[in-house]
Structure formats: structure tokens, C-alpha cells
Structure 1
Amino acid sequence: MENVPQPNKPEEAKNSTLIEKIQQLGQTNVPHMSQDSSIHCLTIVGQIEGHIQLPPQNKTTKYEHVIPQIVAIEQNPKIEGLLVILNTVGGDVEAGLAISEMLASLSKPTVSIVLGGGHSIGVPIAVSCDYSFIAETATMTIHPIRLTGMVIGVPATFEYLDKMQERVIRFVTKHSQVSEEQFKDLMFAKGNLTRDIGTNVIGHDAVEFGLMDDVGGIGQAMKKLNELIDASRPSSENGDEGILQ
């Protein structure tokens, strides 16, 4: 009787898990499985989904997927730095601010890069990292907080949106070089967007305004992140013998 090769069940299970992670997170590995690199890449694409589930045809980044990843990055000693890649139209304000606050509070070096676009609530996420890059052709749309295109007639709703808007302004100005006055000017400018208010900032302009630190691509971002990682390591690992005088 011929020996029929038996299926490799551990390998099949591994492949099944890998496919599931690709479908759910859009990436092939999660922080606790990263073995070949000390840098983890977090992608934030499409629309940031918060408390309300978006239609299935929308490309989304779900904050309940992102937040556990950031926690795992902080806990995993093998991960020394985080690269955040953004190409987002924005989305849920509170979910975006939650992600921004978590990135800003990480103890490990972080670098962000805006490719394509980092619009609306994507702006706080972009500036939350230790150093930020924007591609030369990438854009960032800065506009006031709004729920829908309808006129807000309830004073309580307006006050709520106004306070939420102040939270965004405080966060952005705290984590970038842009002044509050300049950021508000960009936010409330007229004529830059058709039938809307706000400003569409492109590449070098974002750096000139102080929103982003530099113009560059993935190569420059990786180089900067490696520099930050080297600087964060103990002096003995950087070649400093620490000889006492």
C-alpha cells in the first residue's frame, strides 16, 4: 500500500491564521510575531472607522484593530521603533484622537509619513509621532469639525462640536511647530475648497506652515527612524564605554 502524504496541519493552521490577519488588519504580521525586524509598520488607510460601522464597500481602518496593536508594540521588547504610514481621508474624530494620543504617548521612537493624503482627523495622527514626513505630492485637508453638511441649529450641538474642535487644535499645535493662530487661519480659510471652508496643504507647504517636519518618502522615513532608535539605545550599545573619570 502506498504511503499517502499526510497534510501538514500545523502549517495549514499557520497559513489560515496568516490569511485571517491579512483580511482583518491588511498586513502579514502583527507586533508580537515580528521576528526579522525591530521596526513595526502601522498603516492607516481609507476612512477611520469609530463608533459607527461604515458600509462594507468603504476602505476603512478600524480603531479597535489599531489600538491593540499600539499596546502590543509598547509591550514587545523586540520592537524598537514604529513607522506609521497614512493615506486617509479622515473619519471619526474621537477614534482619530484616541489613536493620536496613544501614538504620542509611546515610549519608543515613532516616525509618520503621509502618502497620498492625510486629511481631516488624519492630521493629528500624522503629527503625533516624534518626527513626521510628507510626500512631495501628498496633501492634508484642514477644516472645521462637522457632523454632516446640514446647518446646525441646536446650540448644544454647536457647543459640543466647538469643544471637540478645540481638542483637535490643542493637540495639533502641541505636537507640531504650527501656531494656534496659523492653524486656525488654515482651518477657516475660504476659497481653497469648492463650496467649503478650509485649506488643502500640499507637500512643501505643510512643512513651511510647521505642520510636518520634512518632505520625503519611505527611504528618508526609515533612515530617520533608525537614527532615533540608535539615539534611544543605552550608551553602551552605541559604542560608549562609559568610563568613569
Structure 2
Amino acid sequence: MAQLLETGTTVPLPSTSDIHCLTIVGQIEGHLVLPPQNKTTKYEHLLPQLVALEQHPEVKGVLVLLNTVGGDVEAGLAIAEMLASLSKPTVSLVLGGGHSIGVPVAVGCNYSFITETASMTIHPIRLTGQVIGVPQTWEYLEKMQDRVIKFVVRYSQIGEERLRELMFRSGELARDVGTVLVGREAVKCGLINEVGGVREALSKLRQLISCQARS
């Protein structure tokens, strides 16, 4: 009960599985603490978990379940970079949504899946709060945008030109620029590897673990 109140999760049943399931849900919380009514995933909780998983001798692979609206850009990139640098096989599964900065997290794994009904919103980085109206502010924003784009292009099959076209498309979102990709659309454009669910994701992860064991 204490863990349920503290973290919102129940204690898992004892398992001999060599696959660890990592969940990223709600909004990715970064340097600012969000209101208590927001469902969040705190990056300072995930980073030590990923370090522990890298060192754990019994964990052979990591399944990442994603249902996030996005959140803090630097926190999301930190999680994505950690996943991309793990020596153990990783597979991501987008359920419901993997929006905004959730996109780099999804593609940072060795292989990615999305369910038929899940969606991913591709849009430019936004600034919240006070903005200093000087050229350096916009240069910094552009550099941050380039960091996200280069990461996604490096770890997926989508080209930079195509990604930028989706990101800055006007007319699809009512009060914003960007694109919503649903299920197979995300696969068709090269962002996600395959459409599938838990069964397919676990099967692929087992395959990657076997390949690594033989190499």
C-alpha cells in the first residue's frame, strides 16, 4: 500500500523473467515540479533505474511502454539518450500516444512498435514562461530543435527533410503547426519500425536477446 501511494504502482509479483518493463506515462517531468493533479513520469526516477538495469546481471532486455503527452525537452532527451546507449537490447511500444518529446524516447530503443490506434504528434519545440526577446533566445531555441531532429533522424528511418515537413506542417492541427500520425502512418513514414502490441514487442525483444547472446 505504501508503494501504491508513493509511486502509483503496485508491487509486481515475483518473476524469473530476464526482461524488465519500464513505463513512461503522462507528462515527462523535468526541472520544474508539475501540479499534483498531473500524471507524470519523473526523469530523476528513470535515470538511476536505467543505470541499475545496465549493471544488473539478470536483466537481458528492456521493454519500454509509452503513453505520454510529452513534456520537458531536456528531460525527454536525457531519457532517450540513456535508452540509446544501453548495451542491452531495448524495444519500445507506443500505446495510446507517444507525443512531442515522447518521439525521441520511442525511437531511441533498438526497435519500436506502435499499436493500430496509438498516435504520435510531431511539432516544433515551444517555450513556456517568460521569454527574453533577444536574437540569442531564438538561436538557442533553434539549436534545441536541431538536437531533437538529429536524434530522431539518427535512430529512425525517417529523413530530416521529411521530419521537418511533418513538424512544421500547417492546417492539420487547429491551433498549432505539426502533424498527428496514427498507427501505420508512423510506420509508413519511417518513424516507427512496426505495428504491433505486447506479443510482437516481446517476441522481437527475445529475438534481439538471442542474437546478442550468440554474438
Specify the SS of the correspondent of 2:22. Answer: strand
Q: Which amino acid aligns with 1:26?
A: T
Matches within 5 A, 1:1-245: 19-20=2-3, 23-24=6-7, 26=9, 28=11, 35-148=15-128, 153-234=133-214
Q: Which moved more, 1:144-153 or 1:129-138?
A: 144-153
Deviation at 1:179, TM superposition (A): 0.1
Structure number with greater Rg is: 1
Whether the 8 Å contact between 1:116 and 1:139 is mirrored in structure 2 is yes
Unaligned stretches of 5+ residues in structure 1: 1-15, 236-245
TM-score for both structures, normalised by structure 2: 0.94
* Higher RCO structure, 1 or 2 (CA under 8 Å, sep 6+): 2
Q: Distance in 2 between matches of 1:221 and 1:73?
A: 19
Specify the SS of the correspondent of 2:103. Answer: helix
Q: Which amino acid aligns with 1:48?
A: I
- Can you list the C-alpha shifts for 1:33-59, whole angstroms capped at 9, x where unaligned? 975210000000000000000000000
Q: Which moved more, 1:148-157 or 1:72-81?
A: 148-157
Deviation at 1:154, TM superposition (A): 2.9
Whether the 8 Å contact between 1:34 and 1:40 is mirrored in structure 2 is no
Q: Which amino acid aligns with 1:20?
A: Q
Q: Which moved more, 1:34-43 or 1:224-233?
A: 34-43
Q: Distance in 2 between matches of 1:46 and 1:137?
A: 17
Whether the 8 Å contact between 1:113 and 1:126 is mirrored in structure 2 is yes
Deviation at 1:153, TM superposition (A): 3.5
Unaligned stretches of 5+ residues in structure 2: none
Q: Distance in 2 between matches of 1:92 and 1:72?
A: 23
- Aligned residues: CA RMSD: 2.0
TM-score for both structures, normalised by structure 1: 0.83
Whether the 8 Å contact between 2:3 and 2:11 is mirrored in structure 1 is no
Are the structure 2 counterparts of residues 169 and 133 from structure 1 closer, same or farther at C-alpha, using a change threshold of 3 Å?
Answer: same
Q: Which amino acid aligns with 2:7?
A: Q
Percentage identity across aligned positions? 64
Q: Distance in 1 between matches of 2:51 and 2:190?
A: 29
Deviation at 1:25, TM superposition (A): 6.4
Matched positions, count: 215
Q: Which amino acid aligns with 2:51?
A: V
